[in-house]
Amino acid sequence: MKLSLSLLSTCLLLNLCALAQPYVARHNLSSAQYQAEFNKWTDKGYRLSQISGYSDGGQDRYAAIFEKESGPTWTAKHGLTGAQYQTEVNNLKAQGYRPVQVSGFPSGGQAKYAALFFKEANAPQWQAKHAMTSAEYQAEVNKWSDAGYRLTDVSGYTVGSTDYYAAVWEKRSGPALAARHRMTSAQYQDEVEEKSSQGYRLIKVSGYSLNNAACFAAIWEKTSGPVWAARHALAGAQKYQDEVERLYYQGYRPVWVNGYTVNNQDQYAAIFTCSDPFNGNEMKAVDALVKKYMDDNDVPGLSIAIARNGKLVLAKTYGFADQEAGERVAPRHLFRIASVTKPITATAILKLEQNNVLELGDEIFGPGGILGTTYGTKAYTANLKKITVDHLLTHHAGGWDQEDDPITQDQSWNMSTYITKTLDNDPLVTVPGDAYDYSNFGYALLGRVIEKKTGKTYEDWVQDNVLAQCGISTMRIGGSTLADRKPNEVKYYGNSAYFYNIPRMDAHGGWIASPIDLVRFLVHVDQSATVPDILSGTTLGKMFTPSATRATYCKGWSRVVNSGSMWHNGALPSTLSEMKRTTDGFCFAILMNTRPGAGKDNNGTAMGALLGDIKSTITKWPAHDLF
């Protein structure tokens, strides 16, 4: 496996479920936070499987992994001085324990230690040393190797300007082993690649600072096992977390994390494994497809997610969320989804219909209409008073089409002014119900219908009654300007990327989301038994039935006539988006932070084809569920 250097950006804690074995990973913990997490997870039956101590801003910090699995009796200690560590080793040895992992780190001008001890019958003979200089460590490695012991753990750390080492040896047989220390970042990268080509697996890595540069000590074993990946030089807690999540959504879990400090910057090195991987060549082919699309269309950042039979099997991110800041796209990043909003609004309306709050035949305007005479200053025409909820859902209101789209009007207008000006100045051109005419404005009206019928804002009601029921908590209505960017929202690129009044587009194009959010929504409205749907079968059937005049459009959803697959795309100067669920059990979502210009994939045709190409490229689908 190639070790890749990551250019990534700042967070706190990580808690992701493992694919085969439940686990919890934590990092950037103070001593008190670590103890609290230790108590919390051990009380729930988890075992500490690995701990790393390090310094961040002069403060002790800890990273740890807990696993819910059986194993020998164990105990762990942290925050120990050298003398205290030696005392613990001696005392625990007398009780039948041996150290299996030790992490040394600088703290206030001295070394401190965190360690994990096992107590088990028929344990091998062992040796543990700490506070060794580089030369002393090498001498001990040679000595104990000659005596039939194998190096099982090593930790490098620096106090003052001197690098020291703590290590554990056990007298037992095992596969071929290799160990290196005092490696620069480049040397470590080279060693990982070379050892991997020779059939060795990286099992331990320890980063530390020497002469204000990162150094590494590591152990490899020539053995088989799950597919693995390694990362280092992840500067900052957020960059580490982003990389963990990138790998998680490809099926990997962390099995080793090491925190260290270089020039007062916390950094992380880690090892990950995957028990049910994709085919490596197929994933390289997928990456090549995405890269070509991005290169051909000048796309800064792109994110995809795929579910199969109700299970999230893959999410991958490419390029930059913020080019100027060098911030790479991560699974946490949110993008504008533009008209992919419409199926969400349609689902909300159908939920109100299912709950007998409204009927699809209810009229919108006039004394008996849902919105009454709230908007407009002129008398309503007979046709305007004929418009129903169903007409808006299916784009059969009789006007306000994309040829002269009202959303381009003065972006400073608030919602009330926007609707009033449109009703006053944009008359209908056909009788409602007679013809399909795609209308963003019609869906803006549906947002007001939801507000009128629920007494809540469109955003709040949909979050509580649609998205939350799908397990989605991160989606929200976006802001209009760069200064209005929401937490974890990408930066947008292209002419007029920040032109539109996004909050005013709420019900027809205002949401921001991750592709994982959209796929999570899709599997809850996909008419399958894999995940419980949030609407009844009858209601879903109604939503996915095409209108009489448009076989390719239902209520808020586009329909592939030959296959019955449901989808919707979206486009703004700042984004191109699509989500789709197929009749053979797949749900896809793709988002990007620009819209390709004229002469490129301006309308998203190639983007939709890219999803199909990805699906056909992958023949081995893992069984895991990453939701």
Domains by residue range for the chain, with CATH: 4-277 (no CATH), 303-617 (3.40.710.10)
Cβ–Cβ under 8 Å, residues 292 and 613: no
State in Å, rounded, how far the first CA of the chain is from the last one. Answer: 26
d(CA 415, CA 425): 15
**Beta bridge partners of residue 185, listed in sequence order:** none
Q: Read off the amino acid at residue 7.
A: L
The residues facing 159 across adjacent strands are 162
Q: Measured on CA atoms in the order 535, 541, 542, 543, is the torsion positive or negative?
A: positive
Contacts of 189 (CB under 8 A, 6+ apart): 3, 5, 232
CA distance 87 to 57: 28
Residue owning tokens 């790479």: 328
Which segments of the chain have a pLDDT < 50? 1-20
DSSP secondary structure string for all residues of 499-517: -S-TGGGHHHH-EEE-HHH
Q: Identify the CA nearest to 184 among candidates 151, 208, 154.
A: 208
CB distance 533 to 526 below 8 Å? yes
Using CA atoms, how far apart are residues 224 and 594, in angstroms rounded to an integer? Answer: 44
Q: What is the pLDDT of residue 404?
A: 80
- The pLDDT assigned to 405 comes to 86
Q: 137 near 167, Cβ under 8 Å?
A: yes
Asked whether 578 and 514 are in contact (CB, 8 A), the reply is no
In this prediction, residue 7 carries a pLDDT of 26
Distance CA 538, CA 23 (A): 40
One-letter amino acid at 397 equals A
The closest alpha carbon to 347, from 516, 552, 507, 479, belongs to 507
* pTM summary value: 0.94
Q: Which residues pair with 164 in a beta bridge?
A: 133, 157
Instruction: Give the model's pLDDT for residue 57.
Output: 86
Helix, strand, coil percentages, rounded to 5, for the chain: 30, 35, 35
Q: Measured between alpha carbons, how far is 288 from 302 in angstroms, rounded to an integer?
A: 13
Please, are residues 609 and 567 in contact by the beta-carbon 8 Å criterion?
A: no
User: For residues 371 and 448, is the Cβ–Cβ distance under 8 A?
Assistant: yes
DSSP 388: B
Q: How many CB atoms lie within 10 A of CB 278?
A: 20
β-pair type (301-308, 265-274): unpaired
| Closest of 471, 387, 478, 480 to residue 434, by C-alpha | 387
Distance, CA of 215 to chain centre: 30
Query: What are 292's two structure tokens?
Result: 């070509």
Residue 122 DSSP code? T
> How deeply is 619 buried, as exposed, middle or buried, from its count of CB atoms within 10 A (0-12, 13-18, 19+)?
exposed
* Helices assigned H by DSSP within 397-536: 415-425, 440-454, 458-462, 506-509, 515-523
The burial class, CB within 10 Å (0-12 / 13-18 / 19+), for 402 is middle
Alpha-helical runs (H) found in 361-430: 389-394, 415-425
